[in-house]
Structure 1
Amino acid sequence: MTATPAVLRPHAEQAYAEELAALAKADDRPRPPGWKLSPWAVTQYVLGATLDDGTEITPKYVGARRIVEVAVATLATDRALLLLGVPGTAKTWLSEHLAAAIAGDSTLLVQGTAGTAEEAVRYGWNYARLLAEGPSEKALVPSPVMTAMAEGRLARVEELTRIPSDVQDALITILSEKTLPVPELGIEVQAQRGFNIIATANDRDRGVNDLSSALRRRFNTVVLPVPQTADDEVEIVTRRVAQLGRNLDLPEVPASLTEIRRVVTVFRELRNGITEDGRTKVKSPSGTLSTAEAISVITNGIALAAHFGDGVLRPTDVAAGISGAVVQDPVSDGVVWREYLETVVREREDWDDFYAACREASH
């Protein structure tokens, strides 16, 4: 019998099943209808804690506790939740973990794109059966949102502002009336207790398909900021890189906080337009230089160090990744990057090897 290959990226409820079970066992607080955990326990799961029996709950989100509490409290009401922020602020990550902790299932997902059709939000049809038998409930293909309504679970809508406006507005009746009519069959699906929606949107995409005022009123918006301090961002990158390394079975490479901090520092300074000490203004490139991109640069560097280096993460392993992330436009971004290297990186004490590696990678 052939062994089942390991899943490359398990869902949150699979990867953290033991933590969720331990929290459920210890959780004696009131739970809203349909919830697997109480709001207090959901917050502990997201932010991390040590339970009375010694079980360590790892942090899934590094940020202000109040942000998570507001998000969780929103989902305990009849208001839907919109997580808003620039790319890389962990909107999708937080959405998945909230759904895993609250409903025990993060898979009822609508991925928003410019081509997302109304069927993805409402329902579609099995056309072979429709032609053979005519309209019937058996020919109906429910969307993740319809399934969540019928079963009292959470649905997730990713990149809401990328969905065409007329498709977005299909959510208005669902969120206001908590019902989804199927006029072809003369029936409707009424939302069971426990149903709600978590949507995410990139606030740099507001000009793509702005939410109508009617739809925006149906959401409680929580803005996820970029990490406030370099230490916070270093912690996020370090944790996620370790998780990705385990999932990808990358060879063990000693964690280099020096290189992680350098990458984070470069990204923060170029993103903010000023050095961390506040002394030097720098130009910002066209890219977002998010925390997610820093994670990708470090993970790729570890793979290079493990397979083609000496097993130690060095500047040469991350230089090409940084250059690729910064220089999205070869002309304008190239000028910004070279200027930053010469005026900031070159002058930094103990950054000589990093400067040389980035110069080499840029040519």
Structure 2
Amino acid sequence: MTETTAVLRPHAEEAFAGELAALAAADDRPRPVNWALSPWAVVTYLMGGTLPDGTRIVPKYVGQRRLVEVAVATLATDRGLLLLGVPGTAKSWVSEHLAAAVSGDSTLLVQGTAGTAEEAIRYGWNYAQLLAHGPSEAALVRSPVMTAMAEGRIARIEELTRIPSDVQDALITVLSEKTLPVPELATEVQATRGFNVIATANNRDRGVNELSSALRRRFNTVVLPLPATVAEEVEIVSRRVADLGASLDLPPVDSAADEIRRVVTVFRELREGATADGRTALKSPSGTLSTAEAISVVTNGLALAAHFGDGLLSPGDVAAGLLGAVVKDPVSDRVAWTEYLEAVVRERDGWGEFYRACREVTA
């Protein structure tokens, strides 16, 4: 990470500028046109490694290397990349870091919502200029996608399936013809080499605004899974909490290892509907209990420990956040949570203080 600044969350290309520069200096492999790094270096940036000069590249994604290789290879072709997965599988995180490593710029972003208009993907107008002088280049307001096309960079579209279907389809010509017509000016913007689109979509949003078959064909889909093991998920939570804690001046995460493992274990068992040993079936709450939510629970606990405790993360610091993450439905989720506490947590060796803290906030 770079030195602390007033910015709460620097963009990836700023936060990891040193790593990106070291990779660029050591990178002697072929680079696609307008790429800041070779595909090999982009994967190394995401997955971590040690360069010949001793520079350590920290992992940005903990998971299957092959998935990242497929994603990077896709960006070197003429197809867009769709990162698909349940909430909390690091889709946005991976998207940002891919754009930072490929283009050196992760800020060409369209945030998908039910209110996203076609102008966010195509272009809009400065209406003062439009009324005063009519359609002109000066009146044109370029979307992030149009800018990326013109400059040969990566455009990011978050939560693509949240965008209305008719607006989504504005991407079809962009992805297939690599051109964006501007009929008002009798011109068009043609994509330069290096341009591509990374979109993210949530598995839980199926049925909201499904992608048309025509648009889906323009994307290569990479499904990002939930962490495969407890150790993998603990590593992800620990790394992200450490990064967030550093920017918020929270206590070091080193002393939080036990509580992080407990939070991750609770989340995994409840979302899988069984204890880790498979001996006890459990009711699963209605929420997603994602890795991102585990990160939030631990970060909030560290804030409590820093400002209202002794600086060491304790069961009491994570209990309230854990309750809020698990109990979304005040009736059915509370029943599932209470049964889990009594049948599993209460009987688990070394979890006595954790059980008492959770019971106190649940009562």
Same fold (TM over 0.5): yes
Aligned match of 2:244: 244
Structure 2 length-normalised TM: 0.98
Asked if structure 1 preserves the Cα contact closer than 8 Å seen for 2:79 and 2:196, the reply is yes
Aligned match of 1:71: 71
Q: How does 1:15-30 map to 2 (within 5 A)?
A: 15-30=15-30
1:116-144 deviation line (CA, Å, top 9, x unaligned)? 00000000000000000111011000000
CA distance in 2, matches of 1:32, 1:141: 29
Aligned match of 2:80: 80
| Deviation at residue 249 of structure 1 after TM alignment | 1.7
1:192-211 deviation line (CA, Å, top 9, x unaligned)? 00000000000110111000
Say whether 1:289 aligns with 2:271.
Answer: no
Which residue identity is paired with 2:351? W
Aligned match of 2:215: 215
Which residue identity is paired with 2:169? D
Aligned match of 2:126: 126
Which residue identity is paired with 1:132? A
1:183-222 deviation line (CA, Å, top 9, x unaligned)? 1110000000000000000011011100000000000000
| Deviation at residue 251 of structure 1 after TM alignment | 4.0
Aligned match of 1:10: 10
| Deviation at residue 306 of structure 1 after TM alignment | 0.9
Say whether 1:100 aligns with 2:100.
Answer: yes
Check 1:31–1:83 CA distance in 2 against 1; reply closer, same or farther (3 A cut).
Answer: same
1:228-258 deviation line (CA, Å, top 9, x unaligned)? 0000000000000000001112244653211
Check 1:27–1:5 CA distance in 2 against 1; reply closer, same or farther (3 A cut).
Answer: closer
| Deviation at residue 311 of structure 1 after TM alignment | 1.4
Asked if structure 2 preserves the Cα contact closer than 8 Å seen for 1:253 and 1:306, the reply is no
Aligned match of 1:90: 90
Check 1:10–1:257 CA distance in 2 against 1; reply closer, same or farther (3 A cut).
Answer: same
Query: How many residues end up aligned between the 2 structures?
Result: 360
Query: What secondary structure does 1:198 align onto?
Result: strand
Aligned match of 2:54: 54
1:261-286 deviation line (CA, Å, top 9, x unaligned)? 00000000001111111111101101
Which residue identity is paired with 1:238? S
Taking only aligned residues, the RMSD between alpha carbons, in angstroms, comes to 1.0
| Deviation at residue 108 of structure 1 after TM alignment | 0.0
Asked if structure 2 preserves the Cα contact closer than 8 Å seen for 1:31 and 1:37, the reply is yes
Check 1:357–1:60 CA distance in 2 against 1; reply closer, same or farther (3 A cut).
Answer: same
Aligned match of 1:114: 114
Aligned match of 2:158: 158
Which residue identity is paired with 2:310? D
Asked if structure 2 preserves the Cα contact closer than 8 Å seen for 1:253 and 1:305, the reply is no
Asked if structure 2 preserves the Cα contact closer than 8 Å seen for 1:29 and 1:40, the reply is yes
Aligned match of 1:266: 266
CA distance in 2, matches of 1:120, 1:255: 45
Identity rate of aligned residues, in percent?
79
| Deviation at residue 310 of structure 1 after TM alignment | 1.4
| Deviation at residue 6 of structure 1 after TM alignment | 0.7
Asked if structure 2 preserves the Cα contact closer than 8 Å seen for 1:120 and 1:143, the reply is yes
Structure 1 length-normalised TM: 0.98
Structure 2, gaps ≥5 residues long: none
Query: What secondary structure does 1:200 align onto?
Result: strand
Query: What secondary structure does 1:10 align onto?
Result: coil
Which residue identity is paired with 2:198? I
